[in-house]
């Protein structure tokens, strides 16, 4: 606080230090306490150390705070300012246009609206599919058996596998004429699908891939939730003769509400942000049938090199993510009250 007041911090430092040393001496009788005193560095070094030690709450987070401010805070405000400008393709002329970009994104850009609706469709469908699949799996896995750890890890592999690589393999497997998934469909007596090449099948295919990636995470959280449930309500229900189905809908589900909201919160954030899989498999196509907000942001900024307008699109995309997250965080707080 009064860093250049000279003796001031020294005195306070000694005050706290000596009180701690007294405490030490009080606790350990004699030699041990004195040894600890000798081990302390002396003079300036010691005072500097004491100063740091007393202000750890500021010292420790400072480097991270600086990095985050520099790497994220600065670019964020730069994006805001860019969204108010028109930038030419070679990035040599920047002219201020005010809210023109933002207004165009929000009111006149049909492509943005399309991207918004597709993102919504993709995210909601993914979350529903993931929740249902993960719930079934968690209920099945909710018991103790040999090999639980290994099997749980095997289920985690889709979560950690490199999305770029798995997207490429999905693309090969979903190839319409000779891909293996169509072969499986045929064996099962179902009609072939165009998968990501079809106008109507593209988003469901991507939802499927996203769920394949996300279900393990949701299942982990639901499983942890299931394992921490109290047993009394279930015993009571069994005595009252409740069916398994009733038990699930009236006891398990309400008790799991917190875990469900948390899992959905994290998956919603991740699904809104999916880029790799969609860019690699469809790049937004066919037409604009799978052009999500993230893909559209990327296209305007880094394919058309319209950095001003692109920044405006990115800014709106960001606000949408923050609003949806804030709503889910509120929900989560309420779920846990």
Partner 1 sequence: MNRPYLKPMGMRKTRRIQDSLFWIILSIFLVFFLFIFFWMFISSFKPNLLIVSDPPVWFFTPTLAHYGEVFERNPFARYLFNSLTIAVSSVGLSLIVGLPAAYSIAKYKQDGLALALLVVRMLPGITFLVPLFIVYKRLGLLDTHAGIVITHILTVLPLIMWVMIGFFEDVPSELLDAALIDGCSQLGTMIRIMIPLSLPGITAVAILSFISSWNNFIFVLILGGSKTMTLPLAVYNFLTYGQVNWGALCAAATVVTLPVLLLALVVQRFLAGGLTMGAIKG
Tell me the three state secondary structure of residue 95: strand
Q: Does 116 bind partner 1 (CB under 8 A)?
A: no
Among 105, 112, 135, 155, binds partner 1 (CB under 8 A): 155
Instruction: Give the number of other Cβ atoms within 10 Å of residue 199's Cβ.
Output: 12
Q: Which of 140, 190, 236, 327 binds partner 1 (CB under 8 A)?
A: 140
Select 27 or 232, whichever has its Cβ closest to partner 1: 27
Interacting stretch for partner 1, rule CB under 8 A, among 4-12, 59-67, 196-204, 242-250? 59-67
* 122 touches partner 1 by CB under 8 A: no
**266 forms part of the interface with partner 1 (CB under 8 A):** yes
The stretch near partner 1 (CB under 8 A) out of 116-124, 233-241, 249-257, 261-269 is 261-269
| 68-87 footprint of partner 1 as x/- string (CB under 8 A) | x--xx-xxx-xx--x-----
> Out of 19, 153, 243, 333, which residue is the one contacting partner 1 (CB under 8 A)?
153
Report phi then psi at 99, rounded to 5.
-85, 10
- Beta-bridged to residue 95, according to DSSP, are 86
Angle at 113 between CA 110 and CA 116, to 5 degrees: 150
Which region, judged by CB under 8 A, interacts with partner 1, from 3-11, 26-34, 97-105, 120-128?
Answer: 26-34
Output phi, psi for 85, to 5 deg: -125, 165
**Does 188 contact partner 1 by CB under 8 A?**
no
Rounded distance between C-alpha atoms, residue 49 and residue 42, angstroms: 10
Is 102 a binder of partner 1 (CB under 8 A)? no
Which one-letter DSSP state was computed for residue 286? S
Total of chain residues touching partner 1, rule CB under 8 A: 96
Contact between 141 and partner 1 by CB under 8 A: the answer reads: yes
Q: Which of 27, 110, 232, 240 binds partner 1 (CB under 8 A)?
A: 27
Complex with partner 1: residue 6 or 149, whichever CB lies closer: 149
CB of 31 to partner 1, least distance (A): 13
Taking CB under 8 A as the rule, does residue 112 contact partner 1?
no
| Closest C-alpha among 289, 156, 286 to residue 215 | 156
Using the minimum distance from each CB to partner 1, give the nearer residue, 236 or 303: 303
Q: Does 323 bind partner 1 (CB under 8 A)?
A: no
- In the block, tokens 């896995």 appear at 141
Contact 219, 152 (CB under 8 A): no
The token duo for 311 is 């920044």
Considering only residues 210-229, where is the footprint of partner 1 by CB under 8 A? 212, 215-217, 220-221, 224
- Quote the tokens at residue 136: 């079934």
| Burial (CB count within 10 angstroms: exposed 0-12, middle 13-18, buried 19+), residue 159 | middle
The gap from C-alpha 194 to its chain's centroid, in whole angstroms, comes to 31
Q: What is the largest CA-CA distance in the chain?
A: 87
Residues numbered 160-179 forming contacts with partner 1, rule: CB under 8 A:
160-166, 168-173, 177-178
Among 269, 285, 286, 288, binds partner 1 (CB under 8 A): 269
Is residue 292 within 8 Å of residue 203, measured between CB atoms?
no
């Amino acid at each position: 606080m009064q860093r250049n007041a000279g003796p001031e911090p020294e005195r306070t430092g000694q005050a706290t230090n000596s009180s701690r040393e007294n405490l030490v001496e009080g606790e350990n009788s004699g030699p041990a306490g004195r040894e600890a005193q000798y081990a302390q560095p002396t003079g300036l070094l010691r005072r500097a150390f004491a100063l740091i030690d007393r202000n750890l709450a500021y010292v420790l987070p400072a480097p991270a705070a600086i990095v985050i401010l520099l790497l994220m805070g600065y670019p964020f405000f730069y994006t805001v300012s860019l969204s108010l400008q028109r930038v030419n393709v070679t990035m040599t002329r920047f002219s201020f246009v005010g809210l023109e970009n933002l207004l165009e994104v929000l009111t006149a850009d049909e492509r943005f609206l399309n991207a918004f609706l597709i993102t919504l469709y993709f995210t909601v469908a993914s979350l529903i599919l993931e929740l249902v699949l993960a719930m079934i799996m968690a209920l099945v896995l909710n018991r103790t058996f040999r090999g639980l750890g290994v099997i749980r890890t095997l289920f985690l592999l889709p979560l950690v596998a490199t999305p770029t690589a798995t997207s490429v393999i999905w693309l090969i497997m979903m190839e319409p004429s000779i891909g293996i998934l169509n072969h499986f469909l045929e064996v099962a007596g179902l009609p072939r699908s165009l998968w990501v090449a079809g106008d109507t099948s593209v988003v469901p295919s991507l939802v499927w891939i996203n769920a394949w990636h996300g279900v393990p995470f949701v299942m982990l959280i639901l499983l942890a939730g299931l394992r921490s449930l109290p047993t009394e309500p279930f015993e009571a229900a069994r005595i009252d003769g409740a069916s398994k189905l009733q038990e699930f809908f009236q006891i398990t589900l309400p008790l799991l509400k917190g875990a469900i909201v948390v899992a959905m919160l994290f998956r919603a954030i991740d699904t809104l942000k999916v880029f790799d899989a969609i860019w690699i498999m469809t790049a937004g196509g066919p037409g604009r049938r799978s052009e999500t907000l993230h893909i559209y942001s990327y296209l305007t900024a880094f394919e058309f090199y319209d950095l001003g307008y692109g920044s405006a699109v990115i800014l709106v995309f960001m606000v949408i993510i923050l609003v949806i997250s804030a709503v889910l965080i509120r929900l989560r707080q309420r779920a846990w009250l």
